[in-house]
Amino acid sequence: MVFTDRVGSSPTSGTSFMNFDHIAHTALNALELSRVSYGDIKVGQYQKEHIATKDGVVEAMESNDSMGYGIRVVKDGRWGFAASSDLSSAGIHATVKKAVVLARAAATVKADPVILTQESPLRGTYKTPYAEDPFTVSMDEKVSLLLAADESQRRVKHLKISQAYYTGWKQEKLFASTQGHWITQTLVECGGGIEATATNASDVQSRSFPNSFRGQFVTGGFENVRGMKLIDNGQRIAEEAVALLSADECPGGKRDIILDGNQLALQIHESCGHATEGDRALGWEASYAGTTFLTPDKLGIFRYGAPIVNLTADATVPLGLGTFGYDDEGVAAQRRYLVRNGIFVDYQTSREVASILQKTVPGYDRSSGGTVRSEGWGHLPMIRMTNINLEPGDNAQSGKAWKLSDLLADTKNGIFFSTNKSWSIDDKRLNFQFGTEIAWEIKNGKRGRMLKNAIYTGMTPVFWGSCDAICGRDHWVVWGTPNCGKGQPSQLMHTGHGASPARFRGVDVGVLKR
Amino acid sequence: MLGKQKLKAMTGYALKEAKRLGVGEAEVVIWGGTEELTRFAQNHIHQSVSLTDTQIHVRCILGRKIGVARANRTDPIGIRTAVARAKMLATLQREDPHFHSLPTRNTYRRISRPRKGDKHIGSSGRAQAIAIIIRNALEHDLVASGAFSESDSELGVANSHGVWAYHIGAAASLSSIVMGERGSGFASQNTKFGSGITTNEVSDTAIYKATHGEFVDVPAGEYEVILEPPAVAELLDFFGWLGPNARIYHEDVSFYQGNIGKQLFDSSLTIVDDPFQAAGYPMAFDYEGTPKKKITLVNRGVAQNVVYDSYHGHKYGKENTGHALLAPNTWGPIPTHMVLLPGKQNVSAMIKRVKRGLLITRFWYTRVVHHKKLILTGMTRDGTFFIENGTIVGRARNLRYTESVLEALKDIRGIGNDLSLEGSEGSPSLVPTLHLGKFRFTGVTQHG
pLDDT (tens digit per residue) in A97-151: 999 999 999 999 999 999 999 999 999 999 999 999 999 999 999 999 999 999 9
Supply the pLDDT for residue A395. Answer: 62
Supply the pLDDT for residue A13. Answer: 42
Are residues A230 and A261 part of one domain?
A: no
pLDDT tens by residue, A171-194: 999 999 999 999 999 999 999 999
Region of residue B146 (left: phi > 0; alpha: psi -120 to 50; beta: else): left
Which structural domain range is residue A197 located in? Answer: 16-246
Q: For chain B, how big is the Rg over CA atoms in Å? A: 24
The residue in chain A having the minimum alpha-carbon distance to the alpha carbon of residue B54 is A85
Interface of B with A in 108-147 (CB under 8 A): 122-124, 126-128, 130-131, 134, 143, 145-147
| CATH assignment at residue A184 | 3.30.2290.10
Residues of B in contact with A115 (CB under 8 A): none
CA B253 to chain CA mean position, Å: 22
Tell me how many degrees the CA angle A158-A59-B75 measures, rounded to the nearest 5.
170
Supply the pLDDT for residue A513. Answer: 46
Supply the pLDDT for residue B33. Answer: 96
Question: Given a cut of 50, is residue B415 above it in pLDDT?
Answer: yes
Alpha helices in B291-352 (DSSP H): 310-315, 347-352
Q: In this structure, which amino acid lies at residue B228?
A: E
Count of other CB atoms within 10 angstroms of residue A248 = 12
Instruction: Output the DSSP codes for A171-196.
Output: EEEEEEETTS-EEEEEEEEEEEEEEE
The residue in chain A having the minimum alpha-carbon distance to the alpha carbon of residue B69 is A63
Residue A514 lies in a domain: no
Size of interface A-B (CB pairs under 8 A): 281
Supply the pLDDT for residue B445. Answer: 87
Domain limit, last residue, from A218, A246, A274? A246
Supply the pLDDT for residue B391. Answer: 98
Are residues A357 and A258 part of one domain?
A: yes
Rounded Cα gap, residues B34 and B50, in angstroms: 7
Count of other CB atoms within 10 angstroms of residue A367 = 16
Rounded Cα gap, residues B367 and B49, in angstroms: 30
Strands of A274-326 (E only): list them. 311-314
The better pLDDT of the pair B425, A380 is held by: A380
Taking residues A353-362, what's their average pLDDT? 98
Residue A8 lies in a domain: no
Q: Are A436 and A205 in contact (CB under 8 A)?
A: no
Instruction: Give kind and range of the element (H or E) at residue B316.
Output: none
Count of other CB atoms within 10 angstroms of residue A334 = 16
Are residues A199 and A73 part of one domain?
A: yes
Sequence-ordered list of residues with C-beta below 8 angstroms from that of A90, at least 6 positions apart, any chain: none
pTM over 0.90? The answer is: yes
Rounded Cα gap, residues B118 and B202, in angstroms: 19
Interface of B with A in 294-333 (CB under 8 A): 328, 330
Are residues A363 and A351 part of one domain?
A: yes
Cβ A457–B443 below 8 Å, yes or no? yes
Count of other CB atoms within 10 angstroms of residue A196 = 30
Q: Are B62 and B89 in contact (CB under 8 A)?
A: no
Are residues A268 and A218 part of one domain?
A: no
Rounded Cα gap, residues B63 and B91, in angstroms: 10
Cβ B72–A85 below 8 Å, yes or no? yes
Tell me how many degrees the CA angle A59-A46-B21 measures, rounded to the nearest 5.
55
Supply the pLDDT for residue A387. Answer: 98
The least confident of A284-298, A388-402, B417-431 is A388-402
Closest CA of chain B from A18, distance in Å: 17
Are residues A88 and A196 part of one domain?
A: yes
Rounded mean pLDDT of chain B?
96
Taking residues A430-451, what's their average pLDDT? 97
The residue in chain B having the minimum alpha-carbon distance to the alpha carbon of residue A459 is B445
β-bridge mates for residue B180, sequence order:
B183
Rounded Cα gap, residues B322 and B338, in angstroms: 14
Q: Are A330 and A178 in contact (CB under 8 A)?
A: no
Are residues A259 and A240 part of one domain?
A: no
Residue A11 lies in a domain: no
A109, A285, A294: which to substitute to probe chain B, counting the most B Cβ within 10 Å? A109
Sign of CA dihedral A408, A413, A419, A420: negative
Residue A16 — very low, low, confident or very high, per pLDDT cuts 50/70/90? low
Cβ B51–A84 below 8 Å, yes or no? yes
Are residues A329 and A184 part of one domain?
A: no
Q: Are B301 and B171 in contact (CB under 8 A)?
A: no
Residue A230 lies in a domain: yes
Domain limit, last residue, from A200, A230, A246? A246
Rounded Cα gap, residues B158 and B27, in angstroms: 6
Closest CA of chain A from B344, distance in Å: 32
Rounded Cα gap, residues B33 and B2, in angstroms: 8
Residues of B in contact with A79 (CB under 8 A): 46-48
Residue A2 lies in a domain: no
Are residues A217 and A287 part of one domain?
A: no
Residue B424 — very low, low, confident or very high, per pLDDT cuts 50/70/90? confident
Rounded Cα gap, residues B291 and A154, in angstroms: 37
Sign of CA dihedral B304, B307, B313, B319: positive
Query: What are the residue ranges spanned by the domains of chain B?
Result: 212-448
Q: Are B103 and B161 in contact (CB under 8 A)?
A: yes
Supply the pLDDT for residue B113. Answer: 79
pLDDT tens by residue, B314-349: 999 999 999 999 999 999 999 999 999 999 999 999
HEC states along B16-63? HHHHHCCCCEEEEEEEEEEEEEEEEECCEEEEEEEEEEEEEEEEEEEC
Least CB–CB distance from B48: residue in A102, A293, A427: A102
Residue B292 — very low, low, confident or very high, per pLDDT cuts 50/70/90? very high
Rounded Cα gap, residues A314 and A386, in angstroms: 6
Supply the pLDDT for residue B330. Answer: 94
- CB distance from B424 to chain A under 8 Å? no
Domain limit, last residue, from A246, A280, A312? A246
Question: Given a cut of 60, is residue A8 above it in pLDDT?
Answer: no
Closest CA of chain B from A402, distance in Å: 32
Q: Are A351 and A329 in contact (CB under 8 A)?
A: yes
Interface of B with A in 156-195 (CB under 8 A): 175-177, 179, 184
Residues of B in contact with A158 (CB under 8 A): none
Helices B76-92, A139-153: crossing angle, 10 deg rounding: 40
The residue in chain B having the minimum alpha-carbon distance to the alpha carbon of residue A457 is B443
Interface of B with A in 366-405 (CB under 8 A): 366-373, 375, 377-379, 381, 398, 400, 402
pLDDT tens by residue, B90-141: 999 999 999 999 999 999 999 877 888 899 999 999 999 999 999 999 999 9
Are residues A131 and A23 part of one domain?
A: yes
Rounded Cα gap, residues A245 and B64, in angstroms: 35
Count of other CB atoms within 10 angstroms of residue B143 = 18
Residue A447 lies in a domain: yes
ipTM of the complex: 0.96
Alpha helices in A410-498 (DSSP H): 460-465
Region of residue A242 (left: phi > 0; alpha: psi -120 to 50; beta: else): alpha
Alpha helices in A113-272 (DSSP H): 139-153, 223-226, 230-245, 261-268
pLDDT tens by residue, A57-96: 999 999 999 999 999 999 999 999 999 999 999 999 999 9
Closest C-alpha to B358, from B438, B446, B431: B438
Closest C-alpha to B279, from B109, B120, B423, B419: B419
Cβ B94–A147 below 8 Å, yes or no? yes
A431, A437, A486, A490: which to substitute to probe chain B, counting the most B Cβ within 10 Å? A431
Rounded Cα gap, residues B190 and B174, in angstroms: 7
pLDDT tens by residue, B29-84: 999 999 999 999 999 999 999 999 999 999 999 999 999 999 999 999 999 999 99
Are residues A415 and A295 part of one domain?
A: yes
Are residues A208 and A264 part of one domain?
A: no
Residue A9 — very low, low, confident or very high, per pLDDT cuts 50/70/90? very low
* pLDDT > 70 fraction of chain B, expressed in percent and rounded: 100
Rounded Cα gap, residues B422 and B77, in angstroms: 40
Closest C-alpha to B47, from A93, A427, A282: A282
Closest CA of chain B from A400, distance in Å: 33
| Cα–Cα distance list, A306 to A58, A271, A381, A457, A469 (Å) | 47, 15, 34, 18, 10
Taking residues A434-441, what's their average pLDDT? 98
Q: Are A391 and A152 in contact (CB under 8 A)?
A: no
Q: Are B329 and B309 in contact (CB under 8 A)?
A: yes
Q: What backbone phi and psi angles, to 5 degrees, belong to B67?
A: -125, 145
Question: Given a cut of 50, is residue A14 above it in pLDDT?
Answer: no
DSSP SS3 for B303: strand
Helices B199-211, B122-139: crossing angle, 10 deg rounding: 30
Region of residue A487 (left: phi > 0; alpha: psi -120 to 50; beta: else): left
DSSP SS3 for A24: helix
Q: What is the DSSP letter of A277?
A: B
Least CB–CB distance from A199: residue in B145, B252, B368: B252
Closest C-alpha to A131, from A221, A192, A219, A218: A221
Q: Considering its fold, how many domains does chain A have in total?
A: 2
Cβ A65–B68 below 8 Å, yes or no? no
Residue A397 — very low, low, confident or very high, per pLDDT cuts 50/70/90? low
Supply the pLDDT for residue B114. Answer: 80
